[in-house]
Chains A and B, each alone.
Chain A
Amino acid sequence: MTTRDFKRFFSQYKILALLLAIAMIWLFFEQLTDGAFLTPRNFSNLLRQMAITGMLASGMVFIIISGEIDLSVGASLGLLGGIAAILDYTYQLPMPLIILIVVALGIGIGLFNGYWVAYLRVPSFIVSLAGFLAFRGILLGITKGTTVPLESEPMIMIGQAYLPMMLGNFLGVAVFALMAFLTFRTRAGRAQHGLAVPPLWQDLGKLGVIGVLIVGFVYTLNQYEGIPVPVLVTLVILGIFSFMANQTVFGRRIYSVGSNLEATRLSGVNVRAVKMLVFGMMGLMAAFAGLTTTARLAAGSPSAGTLGELDAIASCFIGGASSRGGVGTVYGALIGALIMASLDNGMSMLGVESFWQMIVKGAILLLAVWIDVVSGAGSER
């Protein structure tokens, strides 16, 4: 295999390159920790660590695909988490109502940012930098700089509970059944419209791989305590957002706005609405991440989510999103988040000092995007 073939292979199957990177990182830590890294317990920890960054990255990746940036999500995460804690501790509202209020506020914050970017045409870097300062300021104001504890058990469950084993097994089977159903529906649809149907063994093979992954995933987590609730939430987001990106009009619009805004506008698309909604989705993700963070800490902390936006942005870029817009995937962003979490987790286990962790994460980000630029350079012209 020549270097060029190699490059082409990886630019076509970016996900393989990412999975290879994860495998290498895991084996590396497995070796250094004498087998303590790849245990069900640590796997569970790792996934719980990545869940919050993963939620943010799932929203952020669409912002980046549409050619924008959002620096305010760490602060809005903190603010929304803080509000959740106050609603619980001070006002003693029931959990469903708290979730409803926080989610609505999150979407509101996102749409507010989006309105400034899309309709008032302030660059997103500036709008979100303003949010970065202001939202944190509001949080400090309403909490008076103190930590607000959570009281109600159900709220804490959001961040700390595990699914019962039976439910986990059931979900695994249900997801597999859904995938099988979708595969065969696509086949039937293609046949109905007289389009070429891929050979059956190909689809069955794909389903087989999916099945093995699901079984492995559920089995490993059941070895410990079961599927953590935040991980489940992240996976549901992955499913819904991937579906949205690939199968809906809105998803297609996000990519075309990021790839060529003018051509999209001249095709009669309301590009401003698309941008604003993308920010709305980011707000929703900040709400989920905020609720999870507060529940995990069992308290609303005024410093929650600090630098969370940077981890999310880095995850997207490591996961193959393009800084010029138009390119990116949700699963890529989540794998990016998993790589970041693996580095954090592994180095902590090794007792590497935190300053080294920051240096390594920075270097990995730089390297990942450089590889992307180099491997993409051939196809650019």
Chain B
Amino acid sequence: MTEYLLDMRGIVKDFNGVKALDGIDLKVRAGEVVGLCGENGAGKSTLMKVLSAVYPYGTWQGQIFWDGHELKATSIRETEEAGIVIIHQELMLVPQLSVAENIFMGNEITLPGGRMNYSAMYKRAEELMAELKMPDVNVALPVYHYGGGHQQLIEIAKALNKKARLLILDEPTSSLTKSETEILLDIIRDLKRKGVACVMISHKLDEIAAVCDTISVIRDGAHVGTRPMSGMDTNEIITMMVGREIKNLFPREEHPVGEVFFEARNVTCLDVNNPRRKRVDNISFQLRKGEILGVAGLVGAGRTELAMAIFGCYPGQYSAELWLDGRRISVDSPRAAVTQGICLVPEDRKRHGIVPLQGVGANITMAVLGEYARHGVINAEKELCQIEKSIARMRIKTASPDLPIRGLSGGNQQKAVLSKMLLPNPKVLILDEPTRGVDVGAKYEIYKLMFELVRQGLSIIMISSELPEVLGISDRVLVIGEGQLRGDFINDGLTQEQVLTAALGQSAALAA
């Protein structure tokens, strides 16, 4: 029994009756690196939150054995004391504090009277840095002096300082450059030799293959299998990750597709915080009239950034050349995009889609309000007419158009945001995760609408993390991985395996 350092058995976690985890097992030996793989939304993060007691004992079923004893932790503090430390994808460092202060945050070595014992902390921090092969780091300098790669290692130093015996790394390389990634993987190998176990969640199968001893795959909240890494090839892993048939949830309808209508060339976006890294790396693509172009890829691949660059709202430095209907257009702001016929329904509905305090109606007419006004004065009746038309067309369920939109369900909010972006009569409509957080019924209606629109001659770019959705709706599929265009497929007999293989960077897929 004590063969395993960590032994999670039959973990079940549900949210309001929806099972996010359905009987998952995960076993880790001391000094072992386990790769945890699965599609977006498979339940990887939920499992790690159960393990680290973000979801305390009692809110889930199953058992966790830690070092031979059952662990019933109710707070992160308890799991950290036991030696389980999670490093989140988004780093949790305070940029203005020094490296040493960050490493000792919440764990400070103090002198009588609560004064910080800087000399002791600096000494220990330097030891940790040396251990992580970063002796050059000045532990007294603020963290913001160091780049993403160093910051990731500082997080690890912080974990080691807590006497971590099991490190959970959630997408640790998602914001690192290639060479920074190499350093990190080296460190993980080094820790392994020192007996520290590691669970690594990653979409990058080559990294998993490079450091992991064992791989565990979960899919739709269920445990698919655990295999030793040696002897596995990435195709097998992909088959394990996908492994399901597309159910007929998608009302795909035949529609004519015309000539090339929109083209984006050489789109490049630099990371806002780490400008050496390209979030989107020189992507070019074409879009035909009346076409639904699916954009697939894993979370963080650069799809949203690509959309933002086309819509003129990418926050960092970027460049893009756009052609619409044979003419070169310049889009330097969302305003310019909308007036030239490009509309975007953003991914993050709460932050970028709705104006929460305003009525459903005011949200719908926001982009075209000027059309209902003369000399800046709104003709309320004319506006209300359009609002009622939109509400009826989309079947938005609201008691009144004046009701603040924040009171509506996710699906109805999404329909309102869609209505808003249809009123300017766009020629190209970009939908970023159009069905996220939307119930099945509303999803179906949104798909129906998309087909109605393309039949009217609109061209749609649909970004989606749900492969079945991409394959069920699109005419053509672009696959993006690590900021690069990894595939451009006609969606005719295309399989999830092909798309995922391309997304993960397996060059074989490009032949299709």
Do A and B come together as binding partners? Answer: yes
**Interface size, B (range):** 35 or more
| B381–A190 touching, CB < 8 Å | yes
Q: Which of A209-217, A247-255, A360-368 contacts B (4 or more CB under 8 A)?
A: A247-255
| B378–A248 touching, CB < 8 Å | yes
| B370–A327 touching, CB < 8 Å | no
What are the interface flags for B355-377 relative to A under an 8 Å C-beta threshold, 1 for contact and 0 otherwise?
Answer: 11110001000110110010011
Nearest CB on B from A272, distance (A)? 10
Pick from B333, B353, B354, B358: contact of A255, CB below 8 A: B358
Provide the bound-state CA to CA distance between A259 and B404, in Å: 11
State whether the Cβ of B194 lies closer than 8 Å to any Cβ in chain A. no
| B381–A265 touching, CB < 8 Å | no
Pick from B338, B362, B382, B421: contact of A256, CB below 8 A: B362
Q: Assuming A189-B379, A189-B380, A249-B378, is B355 touching A264 (CB within 8 A)?
A: yes
State whether the Cβ of A3 lies closer than 8 Å to any Cβ in chain B. no
Pick from A247, A259, A268: contact of B357, CB below 8 A: A259
| A250–B376 touching, CB < 8 Å | yes
Most chain A CB inside 10 Å of its own CB: which residue of B311, B358, B362, B379: B358
Provide the bound-state CA to CA distance between A303 and B233, in Å: 80
Provide the bound-state CA to CA distance between A190 and B381, in Å: 6
Q: Which residues of A contact B335 (CB under 8 A)?
A: 268-270
State whether the Cβ of A266 lies closer than 8 Å to any Cβ in chain B. yes
Provide the bound-state CA to CA distance between A263 and B380, in Å: 22
Q: Which of B297-305, B344-352, B474-482, B487-495 contacts A (4 or more CB under 8 A)?
A: B344-352
Provide the bound-state CA to CA distance between A187 and B326, in Å: 48
| A193–B370 touching, CB < 8 Å | no
Nearest-neighbor residue (CB-CB) of B367 within chain A: A267
State whether the Cβ of B385 lies closer than 8 Å to any Cβ in chain A. yes
Provide the bound-state CA to CA distance between A259 and B366, in Å: 13
Q: Which residues of A contact B355 (CB under 8 A)?
A: 255-256, 259-260, 263-264, 326
State whether the Cβ of A203 lies closer than 8 Å to any Cβ in chain B. no
Nearest-neighbor residue (CB-CB) of A325 within chain B: B357
Q: Which residues of A contact B373 (CB under 8 A)?
A: 248-249
| A265–B313 touching, CB < 8 Å | yes
Provide the bound-state CA to CA distance between A247 and B383, in Å: 11
Q: Assuming A195-B385, A256-B362, is B378 touching A268 (CB within 8 A)?
A: no
Provide the bound-state CA to CA distance between A260 and B356, in Å: 7
Q: Which residues of A contact B346 (CB under 8 A)?
A: 266
Q: Which residues of A contact B29 (CB under 8 A)?
A: none
State whether the Cβ of B337 lies closer than 8 Å to any Cβ in chain A. yes
Nearest CB on B from A323, distance (A)? 13
Q: Which residues of B contact A348 (CB under 8 A)?
A: none
| B380–A266 touching, CB < 8 Å | no
Nearest CB on B from A32, distance (A)? 40
| A266–B344 touching, CB < 8 Å | yes
State whether the Cβ of A186 lies closer than 8 Å to any Cβ in chain B. yes
Provide the bound-state CA to CA distance between A253 and B366, in Å: 8
Provide the bound-state CA to CA distance between A268 and B376, in Å: 17
State whether the Cβ of A202 lies closer than 8 Å to any Cβ in chain B. no
The dominant DSSP class at the A interface is helix
State whether the Cβ of A2 lies closer than 8 Å to any Cβ in chain B. no
Most chain A CB inside 10 Å of its own CB: which residue of B366, B373, B385: B366
Q: Assuming A186-B380, A195-B385, A247-B377, is B357 touching A265 (CB within 8 A)?
A: no
State whether the Cβ of A151 lies closer than 8 Å to any Cβ in chain B. no
**A to B contact number (C-beta, < 8 Å):** 93
Nearest CB on A from B402, distance (A)? 12
Pick from A190, A256, A267: contact of B334, CB below 8 A: A267
Provide the bound-state CA to CA distance between A256 and B381, in Å: 20
Q: Which residues of A contact B421 (CB under 8 A)?
A: 267
Provide the bound-state CA to CA distance between A252 and B377, in Å: 10
| A249–B357 touching, CB < 8 Å | no
State whether the Cβ of B424 lies closer than 8 Å to any Cβ in chain A. yes
The dominant DSSP class at the B interface is helix
Provide the bound-state CA to CA distance between A193 and B380, in Å: 10
Residues of A137-192 whose CB lies within 8 A of B: 186, 189-190, 192
| B352–A269 touching, CB < 8 Å | no
Nearest CB on B from A285, distance (A)? 19
Residues of A263-285 whose CB lies within 8 A of B: 263-270
Pick from B339, B353, B382: contact of A263, CB below 8 A: B353
Provide the bound-state CA to CA distance between A326 and B313, in Å: 23
Nearest CB on A from B181, distance (A)? 32
Q: Which residues of A contact B376 (CB under 8 A)?
A: 248-250
Q: Assuming A248-B376, A248-B378, A252-B378, is B356 touching A193 (CB within 8 A)?
A: no
Provide the bound-state CA to CA distance between A269 and B353, in Å: 13
What are the interface flags for A290-325 relative to B under an 8 Å C-beta threshold, 1 for contact and 0 otherwise?
Answer: 000000000000000000000000000000000000
Residues of A216-260 whose CB lies within 8 A of B: 247-250, 252-253, 255-256, 259-260
| A252–B369 touching, CB < 8 Å | yes
Q: Which residues of A contact B424 (CB under 8 A)?
A: 268
| B357–A263 touching, CB < 8 Å | no
Q: Which residues of A contact B420 (CB under 8 A)?
A: 267
Q: Which residues of A contact B380 (CB under 8 A)?
A: 186, 189, 247
| B358–A256 touching, CB < 8 Å | yes
Provide the bound-state CA to CA distance between A192 and B381, in Å: 9
Q: Which residues of B contact A253 (CB under 8 A)?
A: 369
Nearest-neighbor residue (CB-CB) of A260 within chain B: B355
Q: Which residues of A contact B354 (CB under 8 A)?
A: 260, 263
Q: Which residues of A contact B351 (CB under 8 A)?
A: 260, 262-263
| B358–A266 touching, CB < 8 Å | no
| A248–B377 touching, CB < 8 Å | yes
Q: Which residues of A contact B366 (CB under 8 A)?
A: 252, 256, 264, 267, 269
What are the interface flags for B103-138 relative to A under an 8 Å C-beta threshold, 1 for contact and 0 otherwise?
Answer: 000000000000000000000000000000000000
Q: Which residues of B contact A189 (CB under 8 A)?
A: 379-381
State whether the Cβ of B384 lies closer than 8 Å to any Cβ in chain A. yes
Q: Which residues of B contact A193 (CB under 8 A)?
A: 381-382, 384-385
Q: Which residues of A contact B333 (CB under 8 A)?
A: 270
Q: Which residues of A contact B337 (CB under 8 A)?
A: 268
Q: Which residues of B contact A192 (CB under 8 A)?
A: 381
Provide the bound-state CA to CA distance between A248 and B378, in Å: 5
Provide the bound-state CA to CA distance between A350 and B311, in Å: 63
| B356–A266 touching, CB < 8 Å | no
Provide the bound-state CA to CA distance between A259 and B376, in Å: 21
| A327–B378 touching, CB < 8 Å | no
Residues of B438-497 whose CB lies within 8 A of A: none
Provide the bound-state CA to CA distance between A192 and B380, in Å: 12
Q: Which residues of B contact A252 (CB under 8 A)?
A: 358, 362, 366, 369, 378
Most chain A CB inside 10 Å of its own CB: which residue of B344, B356, B382: B356
Nearest CB on A from B36, distance (A)? 33
| B352–A266 touching, CB < 8 Å | yes
Provide the bound-state CA to CA distance between A193 and B384, in Å: 9
Pick from A190, A247, A256, A266: contact of B313, CB below 8 A: A266
Shortest Cβ-Cβ A-B pairs, 9 listed: A268-B338, A189-B381, A259-B357, A267-B367, A193-B381, A256-B355, A326-B357, A260-B355, A268-B335
CB-defined A-B contacts under 8 Å, sample of 15: A190-B384, A192-B381, A193-B381, A252-B358, A256-B358, A260-B351, A263-B352, A263-B354, A265-B334, A266-B313, A266-B334, A267-B420, A268-B367, A268-B424, A269-B367
